[in-house]
């Protein structure tokens, strides 16, 4: 990597990998990766509805119960970039299958946990396996698909990302309703086992067998610096309910310093011609990557936090069961699923305008939802909010999927794992901020307004809109800049294996 062309993936590598896009098994292989990705992302939120039952059955402390959720999110985020780089350097298929197998094993161990300590350790390991698996999903799409097909594939991938978060509470509530009685919560973990085993067997048969696409060297100092920096930033956030923000605020400063050192180290590694953990030229020379990563991070601040707010409002404010609470947000999931698949077909034609329209729809839908839950009659507020949630879901499906496509489509295939890992790390950090800040604000309003749940949900959803509005502002700026230039997607067609198009975009 001594020249800009070689660093960006020249045409020679494209020629060697171009045939993979015509793999007759590519669509079947895609579904294997999507099922695995769905399980890993679903496990971020599905456990939340079972926490009271888990605490009672295992005699866990509140801090231990919190680690069942936050520990998974923490190790998930820690693994993403390193695992993506390992997939680029070694073998994406092998790492995906190993990580999926580990995820299945850890799910079984979590379900069989005889104590809270066992469960927390199993969840930490499960999150690590999920984080190793996740960047291989987007990298395999980059590898297997070309042109308009890539937009369609990322459409399904975006639907998976959006729906898995939205249906977590629904699925958890349904499992608890079906597996009633002592230990019913264990099926939240056991359900992954048969599905995961089938996915491993199909993956061994269908996933493409390719040689490594990068150098075998892995930047160990970079791994340590990035891991320590992400850990320092996320730990106060995942411990927010246990007072982590107050006790561990200083870790934000440590994390910022470590990430700054990581940036300097990556530049040094690149300057001496070695392969960095994360090539920073992705952000400066790859068209659309920096903007897409920023939009994704800001959007997930609001998108991820609202599900906990809804669960708190419906279950504690309206006394809904976990299942009914999950069903109340089903319109969002339905709208998101349909829009994500359709938007994958439109992204090549509409480009950034699609995410601008999607973000606008999310903001309108969530604003209407907040107002209806606050002012509509309590007996009918949920039904009245359903159309607004559907509009917000359609908007979300037009944000996540197209943004992933536009962020990664110009990334060289041999760097796809690290690029996808960095993109998802930003999303996980945004999600950690949202899931810490919005429920915290919800409880703060409750304490100050005599347990007025309707005020609390309206104000918390209003705060979520701030992150979404910031994402919209960034997307609009990028769209306007693009209109003043050559236009989004002109001459692109999803061919992401050549050198990045240098348009001076950040």
For residue range 342-395, what is the model confidence (pLDDT) as tens digits? 887 788 788 889 999 999 999 999 999 999 998 888 888 889 999 999 999 999
Question: Mean pLDDT in the chain?
Answer: 81
Q: Convert the pLDDT of each residue in 62-71 to its tens digit.
A: 777 778 877 8
Mean pLDDT across 314-335: 84
> Which residues does 133 contact at the CB level (< 8 Å), separation at least 6?
36, 37, 40, 83, 95, 96, 99, 100, 103
Residue 9 backbone zone (phi > 0: left; psi -120 to 50: alpha; other: beta): left
Q: Convert the pLDDT of each residue in 408-428 to its tens digit.
A: 877 887 777 778 888 888 888
pLDDT of residue 22: 66
Give, in order, the Cα–Cα distances in Å from 159 to each of 96, 398, 483: 20, 9, 27
Q: Return the top range by mean pLDDT from 18-27, 329-338, 360-369.
A: 360-369
**Residue bearing the bigger pLDDT, 233 or 363:** 363
pLDDT of residue 109: 95
**pLDDT band, residue 468 (cuts 50/70/90):** very high
The CA distance from 363 to 468, in Å, is 7
**Residue bearing the bigger pLDDT, 227 or 254:** 254
pLDDT of residue 504: 35
The CA distance from 249 to 82, in Å, is 26
Q: Which of 420, 11, 17, 446 is nearest to 208 (CA)?
A: 17
Q: Which of 266, 289, 101 is nearest to 199 (CA)?
A: 101
CA geometry: angle 48, 50, 51, nearest 5 deg: 70
pTM of the model: 0.77
Q: Lowest mean pLDDT: which of 139-143, 175-179, 238-242?
A: 238-242
Q: Which of 351, 360, 94 is nearest to 203 (CA)?
A: 94
């Amino acid at each position: 990597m001594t020249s800009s062309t070689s660093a960006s993936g020249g045409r020679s590598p494209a020629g060697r990998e171009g045939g993979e896009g015509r793999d007759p098994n590519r669509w079947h292989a895609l579904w294997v990766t999507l099922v695995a990705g769905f399980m890993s992302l679903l496990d971020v939120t599905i456990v939340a509805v079972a926490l009271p039952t888990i605490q009672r059955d295992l005699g866990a402390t509140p801090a231990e119960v919190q680690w069942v959720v936050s520990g998974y999110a923490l190790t998930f985020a820690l693994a993403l970039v390193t695992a993506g780089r390992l997939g680029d350097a070694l073998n994406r298929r092998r790492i995906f299958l190993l990580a999926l197998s580990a995820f299945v094993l850890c799910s079984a161990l979590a379900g069989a946990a005889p104590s809270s300590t066992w469960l927390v350790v199993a969840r930490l390991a499960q999150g690590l396996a999920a984080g190793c698996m996740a960047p291989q999903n987007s990298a395999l799409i980059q590898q297997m698909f070309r042109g308009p097909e890539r937009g369609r594939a990322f459409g399904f991938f975006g639907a998976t990302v959006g729906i898995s978060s939205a249906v977590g509470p629904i699925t958890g509530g349904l499992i608890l309703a079906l597996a009633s009685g002592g230990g019913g919560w264990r099926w939240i973990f056991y359900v992954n086992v048969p599905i995961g085993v089938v996915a491993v067997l199909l993956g061994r048969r269908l996933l493409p067998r390719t040689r490594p696409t990068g150098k075998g060297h892995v930047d160990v100092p970079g791994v340590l610096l990035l891991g320590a920096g992400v850990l320092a930033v996320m730990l106060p956030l995942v411990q927010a309910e246990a007072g982590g923000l107050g006790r561990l605020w200083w870790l934000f400063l440590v994390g910022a310093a470590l990430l700054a050192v990581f940036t300097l180290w990556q530049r040094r590694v690149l300057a001496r011609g070695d392969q960095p953990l994360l090539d920073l030229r992705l952000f400066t020379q790859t068209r659309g990557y920096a903007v897409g990563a920023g939009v994704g991070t800001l959007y997930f601040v609001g998108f991820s936090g609202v599900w906990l707010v809804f669960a708190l409002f419906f279950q504690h404010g309206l006394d809904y069961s976990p299942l009914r609470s999950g069903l109340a947000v089903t319109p969002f999931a339905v709208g998101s699923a349909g829009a994500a698949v359709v938007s994958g077909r439109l992204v090549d034609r509409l480009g950034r305008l699609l995410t601008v329209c999607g973000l606008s729809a999310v903001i309108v839908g969530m604003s209407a939802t907040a107002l209806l839950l606050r002012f509509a009659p309590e007996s009918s507020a949920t039904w009245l909010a359903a159309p607004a949630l559907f509009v917000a879901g359609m908007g979300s499906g037009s944000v996540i999927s197209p943004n992933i496509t536009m962020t990664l489509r110009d990334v060289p295939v041999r760097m796809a794992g690290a690029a996808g890992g960095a993109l998802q790390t930003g999303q996980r950090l945004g999600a950690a901020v949202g899931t810490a800040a919005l429920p915290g604000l919800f409880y703060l309003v409750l304490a100050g307004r005599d347990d007025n749940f309707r005020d609390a949900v309206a104000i918390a959803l209003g705060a979520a809109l701030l992150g979404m509005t910031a994402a919209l502002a960034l997307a609009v700026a990028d769209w306007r800049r693009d209109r003043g230039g050559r236009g989004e997607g002109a001459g692109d067609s999803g061919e992401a294996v050549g050198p990045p198009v240098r348009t001076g975009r950040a």
